[in-house]
Every structure is written in structure tokens, then in C-alpha cells.
Amino acid sequence: MQRLIARAGLRHLAVPLVAAGLLVACAGLPGRADALGREADGALAPTTAWPLSPRDLPAPLALQQQLVIERDGQSRTFDAMLEADADGLRLAVLAAGQVALSLQWKDGALDQQRADWLPPQLDGALVLQDLQFALWPLAALQRVAPPGWTVVEDGVVRTIAASGRVVVTVRRTGPGRFTLERPDAGYRLTVRSVAVEERRP
């Protein structure tokens, strides 16, 4: 994880995908999930990471990302660093030069390290789920979609729905660019990604 932070080459990062997760937590997604991410009736909870693998990705990822989060007429811009390869997925999130949240996802297990000041509502699984919905291949998502969930793609737009209700919409807007919207949470996340190897001094 320290190697990941160093590769980002950034000193003052805010909390991008984490902030998105916090927006959802504050919005109060419907249903109450237990520690296993399941509803009382056994259905998969909205914020549970899907049983995918980084090996499903067409190629390893090493991305520096700029994100703009819009909600209630306000917007904020953030940065993040993400790596995903056969060994797993790693996300480093920094605030004021300190690690606010780090995620490591390997063999279906999610390990998250959190700063003490992060709100308890923040769900690392939700952060991971947004990454899955935006970056994983359509066929992989469709293969593991829980009962009652659908994943469809029409051109540049991907829609994830549960029991006919749209949960997430992802729209590709250009190379390395997309917007992700969660209608129930009322936020939109605009992402611009650059491969680390392509960065110039």
C-alpha cells in the first residue's frame, strides 16, 4: 500500500470515492443490512461488493483519477489512486497528506484500514461496488448479478437495477472518462482517469 501511495506522486489528496460512499451513507439507502451485507430476508444488500475478481478485468489497472462529485447543487473535486491486477485491488485515499482510507480486495475478501476520524457510516464495500459497476466488464457483472438484479448496456450507458429499480447508471463520456449516478442517493460522480505510466513530470 505504501508503494501505491508513493506511485501516486501526490501530497494533498482529498477523499473522492470515499466521499461518494459517505454521500450514499448519509442519504440512507433503503433496507437494513447485517455484517454480511444481506438484508433481513436474505437478499443481497445494495452496498455489498459483488463476488467478482480483478482477474475479470481485461488488463491490470494503475490509475490516477480526478473526480467531481455533485449533489444538491454543489460540487467538489478530488483525486485518488487505484491499482488492480491478478494479486487484487488496492485503493489509497489521502486527506491533508494522511491516509484516510485504504482498501485491499483479494480472493473475495475486503480489508479496509480507516482513520479514526472517518464517520462510522462510511462503507468500504460501497466504494468497491461503485468501482466494480464502473470498471468491470459487462459480461462479468451479468454473470454474478444477484437474483432480481440486472446489468444492461446500451452504447455508452450501463444501467444496474434491482427489481426493476435503477440503482446505478454509468455513462462513458470519452477515453478514461465516465459519470456514475445513484438516483436514490442523489449524487453524480464524474471521473477522469490517467494511467500512471502515461504521466509526465
Where does 49-174 have alpha helices with state H?
124-135, 138-144
* Predicted confidence (pLDDT) per residue in 139-194, tens digit: 999 999 999 999 999 999 999 999 999 999 999 999 999 999 998 878 888 888 98
- Within 10 angstroms of residue 183's Cβ, the number of other Cβ atoms is 12
Residue 103 to residues 72, 136, 139, 157, Cα–Cα distance (Å): 28, 17, 25, 27
Q: What is the dihedral of CA 123, 125, 131, 133, to 10 degrees?
A: -110
- Under the banding of pLDDT at 50, 70 and 90, the label for residue 115 is confident
Residue 16 has a pLDDT of 42
End-to-end CA distance of the chain: 22
Local structure of residue 53 (DSSP, 8 states): -
Provide the pLDDT confidence category of residue 90 given band limits of 50, 70 and 90.
Answer: very high
Give the separation between CA 181 and CA 3, rounded to whole angstroms. Answer: 31
Give the Å distances, CA to CA, from 58 to 51, 92, 172: 17, 22, 17
pLDDT score for 100:
72
Tell me, what's the pLDDT at 14? 34
Question: If pLDDT is split at 50, 70 and 90, which confidence band does 6 have?
Answer: low
Residues 15-60: tens digit of each pLDDT: 345 455 544 444 443 333 333 333 433 344 556 788 898 889 989 9
Q: What is the pTM of this model?
A: 0.75
Per domain, the residue ranges of the chain are: 2-198
Q: What is the pLDDT of residue 191?
A: 87
